[in-house]
Each structure stands twice: as C-alpha cells, then as structure tokens.
Structure 1
Amino acid sequence: MKLTERQRRFADEYIITGNAYRSCIDAGYSKSYAKARSHDLLENVGIKIYIDERLNLLKSNKIAEQQEVLEYLTSVMRGQQQDVEVLPLSVGKGVQELKTIEKRADTSARIRSAELLGKRYGLWIEKQETTTSGVVMINVGEWNDEIENEINTNHPNSTIFIDDIPLEDD
C-alpha cells in the first residue's frame, strides 16, 4: 500500500518518539486533526506495515542476536579475537612515538567470556539435594490433647495445622 509523504513522515516521527499526537503535528497535520485522529493513523494498515518494516530493519542492523553474542563470546574465550594495544616508544629526548600492536584477548577477558557462556548453559548452578518426609493427618471432628500428644511423641519435628473453625452443624 502506497503512503503519502505526510503519512511516511508521521510514521518516521512515531518510530522516534512513540507519541502519536506529537508525530502527527511534526509530520505537518493540524493540531485539531492530530488531537482527534492521530491514533487513527496508527490503525492504517499501510502505516502499520511501514512502521513494522522499519522497526525490523533497525532491529536487525543495531541489535545483536543471541547467536551473534554466543559466537563472539566463544571466539574471545578461544583467543580468536585480537585486541589493539597502543605502546609509547621513546625515539629521542622527550619525544615519543606511538606504536599499535595486535594481541589476542587477555586471560581475564577469556575467563569472563567462559563464565558468561557457562551461565548461559547453566554450568554454574549449584545443585542441592534435599530429602524431606512428613506426616499428614486429617482429623475431622474434635481435636483433643490425646491426639496432639500422640503426634508430638511419634513425630516430634512435624508441623501441626489445626482447623479450629466450628463445623456448620454446631
């Protein structure tokens, strides 16, 4: 669907600001039109498609995808990335010359990359094995000291929940 120049300007401004009213005015529409109909422009199929295409293009060019990040971290960890270091060299009295050299990523950067990859793959999760046992007793009716003493004697570390709400029949 073909957009007018003003619709295209509106869509471009909306991508920048996220404000339909302000984008409408900046695109050249009147304030009264912007106040009453700016959100109608966002429902226009052609404008929606244009905005989605532009956002996808911006996303693909500017934001690293998961695969790219993982590949980069892996290449740093393996020492395949090169760092540039600038070294000052003396060439005479008070005169220095700068020399740049390339070297592979230092150990701390490689370790940090390995840690990040390990976190991603869940390698550093501390696992704890716990075993619990318990007794669940459901006693419908009256609760008395005899039942409580039996539980405390046979299951001293148990938690007791007492429902002391009277039955509806009472």
Structure 2
Amino acid sequence: MANDKLTPKQEKFCVEYLVDLNATQAAIRAGYSEKTAEATASRLLRNVKVQTRIQELRSEYFTKAIASAAEVEAFLSKTIRGDLEEEVIVVEGSGEGYSEARIVKKQVSARDRIKAAELMGKRHQLFTEKVKVDSIVPVVIKGEDDLEP
C-alpha cells in the first residue's frame, strides 16, 4: 500500500470511538459532517487500518490501566510492612459542644496488613497442604469390541 497511515481525522475517530463506543458521535467529534456521520462511521469501522488502530489503542489503554502481578505484589508487600498510609477523618471536640473534623494520615490497620499477608500467602501457596502434581495419566476405554470371546 502506498499509504499505511491514517489521516488525522481517522486517527481522531479511533480515539473518540473508544470514549463511548458510539461510532456516529465519534465521527462528529472527529470533525466529520453531522449529516453524513452515521454512514461515515459505518464506513470507518469497516476499514481494516481503522480497526487495527482501534485495537492498538485499546491494548495500550489496558496495558496502562491494569496492574501487573509485580505491582500487586509490591502493593501487598508495602501494606504488610506498614509502609502504606491512608487518610482518615478524625472528629475532635473543640470546646463547648463544638467539634471539628480533619483529615489525618495513619498507617493501615493491623486487619488490613493481615489481609494483605493472607493474599500474598495464597499467591505463593504458603497455606496449602495439597500437593500439586503435574502428570499425564493415560486413559484406556474398553468397549464391546475389545472384549475377548
């Protein structure tokens, strides 16, 4: 192909389409005519280059949005060690029936640390007495034809 690149409008359509998966509105937001947006959107969604680009953008989004196993383990480790703080609202009396609320940072609770340790332990199979066996066992099925006379 002479031109494997998308036009700027097609690229904008791909980005806008992923906002709400409404092709007609994506075409309008990308700068195509409102009068022909529905037909244009339909044509764009059948275009292989546009389909490929939409899939690439979705992949990039999910790669950035979804935590990796390493990130989850790092978060659980920080929680277990007490290196993680959370914000809580504290209400304190300020005299003569008045109280004030303020936000303070505190270490995560012991219960949260225990839960993180439990999840990490499950991840590393620390609490199981079952033995995991990976083997192939042949299965022989005999039918009437296999029986001796």
- Alignment TM-score, normalising by the size of structure 2: 0.65
* 2:124 alignment partner in structure 1: 121
* 1:95 alignment partner in structure 2: 98
Q: CA RMSD in A?
A: 3.3
* Deviation of 1:162 (Å): 8.7
* Deviation of 1:58 (Å): 2.5
**C-alpha distance in 1 between matches for 2:105 and 2:40:** 59
* Deviation of 1:68 (Å): 1.2
* 1:40 alignment partner in structure 2: 46
- Asked whether the 8 Å contact 1:10–1:24 carries over to 2, the reply is no
Deviation track 1:104-151 (CA, whole Å, cap 9, x = no partner) reads 11111001001111111112223169xxxxxxxxxxxxxxxxxxxxxx
- Asked whether the 8 Å contact 2:79–2:112 carries over to 1, the reply is yes
Question: Which residues of structure 2 form unaligned runs of 5+?
Answer: 133-140
**C-alpha distance in 1 between matches for 2:88 and 2:39:** 59
| Distance verdict in 2 for CA 1:107–1:116, change over 3 Å | same
**C-alpha distance in 2 between matches for 1:123 and 1:8:** 49
- Aligned identity (percent) is 26
* 1:62 alignment partner in structure 2: 65
| Distance verdict in 2 for CA 1:33–1:72, change over 3 Å | closer
* Deviation of 1:11 (Å): 0.9
| Distance verdict in 2 for CA 1:98–1:26, change over 3 Å | closer
**C-alpha distance in 2 between matches for 1:7 and 1:124:** 53
User: Aligned match of 2:18 in 11, 15, 24?
Assistant: 15
* Deviation of 1:86 (Å): 2.1
**C-alpha distance in 1 between matches for 2:145 and 2:6:** 72
State which structure, 1 or 2, has the greater radius of gyration over its C-alpha atoms: 1
* Deviation of 1:87 (Å): 1.7
Question: Which residues of structure 1 form unaligned runs of 5+?
Answer: 130-160
| Distance verdict in 2 for CA 1:127–1:61, change over 3 Å | closer
Count residues with an aligned counterpart: 129
- Which amino acid is the alignment partner of residue 77 of structure 1? I
- Asked whether the 8 Å contact 2:45–2:51 carries over to 1, the reply is no
